[in-house]
Chains A and B, each alone.
Chain A
Amino acid sequence: MAGWCGMAKRHASRADRIGLRAAMADRLLPFMVAAMSFLAALALAGSIAAGALASHWLSGAQGLMTVEVPTPTQPVAANGPLRQDAVLTLLQATRGLSDAHLLSGAELAALLKPWLGAAAADGTLPIALPAVIVVKADAQAPDAAVLGPKLASVAPGTIVDSGARWADRLAALTTSLRASAAAVLVIVALVAASVVAVAVRAGLSQRREAIEIIHGLGALDSDIANQFALRAMRLAATGGLLGGVVALPVLAWLALLSSSFVASAPAERPDLVTALPPLLWGVPVMFTLATALIGWLAAQVTVRGWLKRLA
């Protein structure tokens, strides 16, 4: 406003060739766009974090089946093979399964140690442990529901646990989280565009007379629209940068929180700075560019639409 009314300097500046530079001095605009950008950053971070966590969990769960054989060292029948060997043989003969691996006593103990303590390691556990076989399953592998009874017919009591169901649910969750984040981004962009459009409209009606005169002097629609678009672009980009920068610490904190799920040992946990995925470091830059584009486009569309009323 100050630029328009109290213009101290009398000659229009070089960039203000047609006297519309001071148009749309909306000081609120950058802050509104900044708020939008902040929301967008959160949505983006949520989506990225969900993706990272899911892919971490999925890589563990997917494609592995766990087979538990109780009383593994008893024979299946008189003079027959041990129950664990019989199951192992059957697994090796099944299409779609590979790398069947019988966990050793030490591996088993390591696995159980968090729950059972040192007793698991020195073999003084008072209970008989089942054998655990881990096997890789590809697309041709039978379903756990099919494989289970088949194995149980050889060694009754054998249980098959597949990660597939988990993986499916996890994938569905990730997909819907991503979709929600995308929807939030789109909505936030639309709201930002509307905020720009409203500011531009206010500027247009305030400058109506001047615009009509310039139009009458032969200004092209682009001459007028560019003046508004340049200004809108600058204001919006300022907001985008501001929102992106303010969002960074919050994003870093979120990244730190989620990294504690991903990294197993405390020593591996990154600090606040390295926790931020490289993509998120680009947030301020990305948001500056995106809001600049939104500001430019929204202003162009608004001004050109408005100018249609002039002959």
Chain B
Amino acid sequence: MIRFTHVGLTYHRAGAAGGDAVALDDIDFDIPDGGFRWLTGPSGAGKTSLLKLMYLAARPSSGRIDLLNTDTLRLDRRGTALLRRRIGVVYQDFRLLRHLSAYDNVALPLRLARRKEVQVRADVTELLRWVGLAGRLDHRPEELSGGEQQRVAIARAVITRPSLLLADEPTGNLDDDQAERLMHLIRSLNRMGTTIIVATHNMGLVARHPAPVLELVDGRLVRHG
């Protein structure tokens, strides 16, 4: 269960002209375990900001957030880190480690969880093959195309079979075929119980895969359902 209770987020911009920026205002919703939601809205509406709160990269300025049955405001540093491991994130800007190969990037979450190297090898190889990167294991991000990098980022986000998957514009660099493949992967994770939220501008994709929509406009939730 994910529950936002009157959540607000204000970016404090010390010394900047224009002062503080209100990114989210009085957000209130909940998503049951195993649910799937599209997150839509115009650019600058606050989609990434909302996801940031969910992947614990920012703390709300007001309100309360419950994730995976945990009150996030009560977590200490260690608890926060351990909760992050149960959340897979596909960042809008990928955030791959530049000096590591595709293989090692995808292996990172498993290694953080101290998984056995034999198991790491099996899982990583299989998943990278599944996203069509079997021949790119040794490539560093700069040696991959935008779409390939995005698929590495997706593989890294799902390699641990997270309880919650947050994807920020995951099809931005993918062609229609690859986008459909990704949706197939996301759907099967969802069927296995992962709660999923996908932020996107791609209304065609939303139309092809009907599901409840969270729609943001100017930091306010204007639709849920």
**Chain A contact residues, CB within 8 Å of chain B:** 4, 7, 10-12, 14, 17-19, 22, 209-210, 213-221, 223, 311
Rounded to whole angstroms, the CA-CA distance of A219 and B114 in the bound complex is 11
Rounded to whole angstroms, the CA-CA distance of A7 and B104 in the bound complex is 13
What are 17 A-B residue pairs whose CB atoms fall within 8 Å in the complex? A10-B104, A10-B140, A11-B103, A12-B107, A17-B114, A19-B100, A209-B98, A214-B112, A215-B81, A216-B84, A216-B95, A217-B112, A218-B82, A218-B85, A220-B81, A221-B81, A223-B112
| Of the residues A18, A209, A311, contact of B56 by C-beta under 8 Å | A311
Q: Which among B89, B112, B156 has the greatest number of chain A C-beta atoms within 10 A?
A: B112
From residue B24, how far is it (CB to closest CB) to chain A in Å?
16
**Chain B contact residues, CB within 8 Å of chain A:** 55-59, 77-78, 80-85, 87, 89, 95-101, 103-104, 107-109, 111-112, 114, 117, 138, 140, 156
Rounded to whole angstroms, the CA-CA distance of A285 and B138 in the bound complex is 42
Given A311-B56, A311-B57, check contact A219 B112 (CB 8 Å).
Answer: yes
Q: Which residues of A contact B87 (CB under 8 A)?
A: 218
Rounded to whole angstroms, the CA-CA distance of A17 and B104 in the bound complex is 9
Interface class of chain A by DSSP: loop
| Of the residues B59, B81, B98, B117, contact of A219 by C-beta under 8 Å | B81
From residue B130, how far is it (CB to closest CB) to chain A in Å?
20
Interface contacts (Cβ under 8 Å), in number, total: 72
6 tightest A-B contacts by CB? Answer: A218-B85, A218-B84, A17-B111, A10-B138, A10-B101, A12-B104
Q: Which residues of B contact A223 (CB under 8 A)?
A: 112
Rounded to whole angstroms, the CA-CA distance of A218 and B108 in the bound complex is 10
Is the pair B138, A217 in contact by a Cβ cutoff of 8 Å? no
Is the pair A217, B85 in contact by a Cβ cutoff of 8 Å? yes
From residue A214, how far is it (CB to closest CB) to chain B in Å?
7
Q: Which residues of B contact A10 (CB under 8 A)?
A: 101, 103-104, 138, 140
Rounded to whole angstroms, the CA-CA distance of A209 and B100 in the bound complex is 13
| Of the residues B55, B95, B101, contact of A11 by C-beta under 8 Å | B101
| Of the residues A11, A217, A219, contact of B104 by C-beta under 8 Å | A11
Q: Which residues of A contact B58 (CB under 8 A)?
A: 311
| Of the residues B78, B83, B99, contact of A7 by C-beta under 8 Å | B99
